[in-house]
Amino acid sequence: MKKQLLTVAIMASSAGMAQNKMTPEMLWSLNRLSANTLSADGKNVYFSSKKYDIKTEKGNNTQYIANIASGKKIKLISVAGKNVFQQSETEWYANDDNYIYRSTDEGTSWSNVRSIIKDADNMKISPDGKYIAYNKEILVSPTLGKDIYKDLSKSTAQIYTDLNYRHWDKWSDGKFSHLFIEPIKGGTAKDLLQDMPYDCPQKPSGGSEDFVWSPNSDALVYVCKKKFGKEYAQSTNSGLYLYTLEDGSTQNLTEGMMGYDMNPAYSKDGKFLAFTSMKTDGFEADKNDIVVMDMATKYKRNFTAHWDETIGSFLWGRNSNEIYFTAPWKGTEQLFSVMIPNNLMAKTPPLINQITDGNFDINGIVGETKNELIVTRTDWNHAAEIYAANKEGGAMRAITHENDALYSMIKTSKIAKRYIKTTDGKEMFAWVIYPPDFNPAKKYPTLLYCQGGPQGALSQFYSFRWNFQLMAAQGYIVIAPNRRGMPGWGVKWNADISKDWGGQPMDDYLSAIDDISKEKYVDKGRLGCVGASYGGYSVFMLAGIHNNRFKTFISHCGLFDLKSWYGTTEELWFANWDIGGNYWSKNSPASYSKFNPSNFVDKWNTPIMVIQGGLDYRVPIEQGQQAFQAAQLKGLKSKFLFFPNENHWILHAQNAIVWQREFFKWLDETLK
């Protein structure tokens, strides 16, 4: 196959006003759209748009209604003075002034239903309006000195006797997120997890999607990993639990299902419960399937088991006979559907239908009208907007235009597909992003982008940090290969990276940079390599094996030494599966010798910038410190960019601007 596929997916520069190029400040001035739900008649979509003030680092979130047919929008909730926390097709609930309000006319009028429950989060009202479910933090297992010794209130001691003593960016304080149900009018609250050291929603990032009311309000299904300590830290076996209001009983709906079971959703008629499920305990990037359960018989059927891809998000169709879902697909994320028979035991094999196809990502499904699905969509030149996708042919039209004004003033990047032969004879896909004024007669510095995950889809996402539009606007070509470990190319391709981190995936990266370097417009004397998380690990690894290909490296929150990382990271199931286990066992995994970046520091000979968050407990601070110290002691040009108040991400606006400025300053110093 021809490698010079510049003709595919080229985003032409806008004419006329489009004279500017994207900058970090412009990137952070964009509106960030989140879609909520559709109106009862399916004519309108409700969404919020958040805009950040860089000086105050605060986001102003405004809610709107947009007509699906015309795209006309009006500002909504700010007029009513209510903050909507739940919308259904017939009812809205909002909080304001320490009270909960209800509206049945889409926000025109409101009635007070009760005062706000103290410290409650993720409130959900039952469909019949009689009960409220919510979660809040409960002290279950005292670990702070001041909680154990009541007479020592100023103590800062933390006392642990088991693992999972910190997670993501927080140390355990002995509190757990418990799920409660109580009458909306007030009364006795029922703690569904009682005094157990379990969380619902799941930490660190679970939310209201972790519990769902039954359509007739008689039960609640919730997600929980009922494990603690070392067992919790080494397992992904979450379950779905059915709590019945009438008798207060709890039933494990996924007994014997050993991996992640998540995202429960009832069909509109209440007959079925669908959820996403992985088979393997400890493998967090296992194939994700859609399983449907008949709630009367509890019979379960996997509707995507035969499909050689993994599932993202999903939505029940209005007629309860079809499920729409998103999934990684050939370097993008697309929209699919699968029919659900009335009898789950029917012999007919499930038929999966692809609805959309193109150089964009479908990020989420908002709702369904008669002929269209309302979705959010991004590509590498555009942040999220709401689109309508025809259910039959996938034709799409934009409903919202939150950032059109800014985009009309900047030149966009050219995006191309490229296929590369790997060292083991496979064909690997890569995206290539070109500067807005790309001229093939000129020579350009080029960046190899290393994706994190390691099993993360490298698709048409729009990032406010790793933004390829911004990189290209500064005059860089970016090549982003779908190396081993990427979903969207079959289950085996996705799984092959486990226990082979520094093997074939590194060869895939080198194949990508060698292939693009054959082009006359690539300056082979100005090649850089950048990435975060596993991508940061890849940068450290490539720094020792690149054989002088690269002139600069940038690693954000990368794993530098696998032994010290295993001793300090929190989710050990990930390390056990992908690395192969601990380093002290008799037959310790080969990863600690063959694929450990710190073992190759003697070959480092290239400038390197190391970025690290102080609150990153997934890839803790010693990883960045060790890498920087090694580079300094070897006499290499190096820089340590440290953010004490950031975790695995960069979440503060001004820190994000510093990140971008330092990123491009380093590239200017080492590549231009």
Residues labelled as active-site residues = 533, 616, 648
d(CA 269, CA 286): 31
d(CA 120, CA 130): 17
- Lookup result for tokens 């996938």: 394
Beta-bridge partner residues of 125: 132
- Lookup result for tokens 């004024």: 437
**What are the distances in angstroms from CA 456 to CA 78, 176, 461, 483, 550?**
37, 29, 11, 10, 24
Residues whose CB falls within 8 Å of the CB of residue 492, separated by 6 or more in sequence, listed in order: none
Which residue type, as a one-letter code, is found at position 152? L
597 within 8 A of 619, measured Cβ to Cβ: no
CA geometry: angle 117, 119, 120, nearest 5 deg: 60
Residues whose CB falls within 8 Å of the CB of residue 388, separated by 6 or more in sequence, listed in order: 68, 369, 372, 373, 374, 375, 396, 397, 399
309 within 8 A of 327, measured Cβ to Cβ: yes
265 within 8 A of 273, measured Cβ to Cβ: yes
Positions of E strands within 499-617: 522-532, 552-556, 608-613
- Lookup result for tokens 């933390």: 158
3-state secondary structure of 536: helix
**What are the distances in angstroms from CA 478 to CA 6, 25, 68, 358, 540?**
14, 21, 36, 20, 19
Positions of E strands within 12-130: 32-38, 44-53, 58-67, 73-75, 83-87, 92-96, 99-103, 111-115, 121-125
Give the chain's end-to-end CA distance (angstroms, integer): 33
Phi, psi of 598 (to 5 degrees): -65, -20
CA geometry: angle 344, 348, 354, nearest 5 deg: 95
476 within 8 A of 495, measured Cβ to Cβ: no
Phi, psi of 590 (to 5 degrees): -65, -20
Q: Among candidates 336, 338, 309, which has minimal Cα distance to 488? A: 309
Give, as one character, the DSSP assignment of residue 543. H
Q: How many helices (H) and strands (E) does the chain have?
A: 14, 38
3-state secondary structure of 341: coil
1: number of Cβ within 10 Å: 8
Q: Among candidates 578, 638, 576, 633, which has minimal Cα distance to 612? A: 638
Give, as one character, the DSSP assignment of residue 282. T
Element (H, E) at 134: strand 131-139
Give the CA radius of gyration of the chain. Answer: 26
Phi, psi of 230 (to 5 degrees): -60, -35
429 within 8 A of 331, measured Cβ to Cβ: yes
d(CA 420, CA 539): 20
239 within 8 A of 255, measured Cβ to Cβ: yes
